[in-house]
Amino acid sequence: MSFFEKLTKRAKEIDSLLCVGLDPHKSELQEDSAEGAFRFCQHLIEDVACAFKPNAAFFEAYGSAGWEALQRTLQLIPKEIPIVLDAKRGDIGSTSEAYATSAFSTLACDSITASPYLGGDGLQPFLKDASRGVWVLCKTSNPGSQDIQALELPTGEPLYLHVAKLCFGTWAKEHQNAGLVVGATDVDAMEKIRAALPDVWFLSPGIGAQGGDLAKALKVGLREDGLGILLPISRGISKAENPKKMAETFRAEINALRAAR
Give me the residues that bind ligand OMP (CB under 6 A), please: 21, 23, 55, 86, 113, 140-142, 181, 183, 205, 208-210, 232-236
- Which entry of 6, 9, 26, 88 is annotated as an active-site residue? 88
**Contact indicator for 127, 159 with CB cutoff of 8 Å:** no
Strands (E), 170-253: 178-182, 202-203, 229-233
Closer residue to ligand OMP (CB): 6 or 53: 53
**Contact indicator for 73, 81 with CB cutoff of 8 Å:** no
Residue 21, beta-bridge partner list:
53
Helices (H) and strands (E) in the chain, counts: 12, 8
End-to-end CA distance of the chain: 30
CB of 125 to ligand OMP, least distance (A): 18
CB of 25 to ligand OMP, least distance (A): 8
Give the span between the Cα atoms of 96 and 117, in whole angstroms.
13
CB closest to ligand OMP, residue no: 140
Give the span between the Cα atoms of 79 and 192, in whole angstroms.
35
Confirm whether 244 is a catalytic residue.
no
Pairing of strands 51-54, 84-89: unpaired
Give the span between the Cα atoms of 226 and 257, in whole angstroms.
10
- Phi first, then psi, for residue 22 (nearest 5°) are -105, 85
Closer residue to ligand OMP (CB): 127 or 261: 127
CB of 227 to ligand OMP, least distance (A): 19
What is the DSSP code string of 120-182? HHHHHHHHS-TTSEEEEEEE-SSTTHHHHTTPBPTTSSBHHHHHHHHIIIIITTTT--EEEEE
Closer residue to ligand OMP (CB): 124 or 142: 142
Closer residue to ligand OMP (CB): 43 or 261: 43
Strands (E), the chain: 18-22, 51-54, 84-89, 111-114, 133-139, 178-182, 202-203, 229-233
Residues carrying an active site annotation: 88
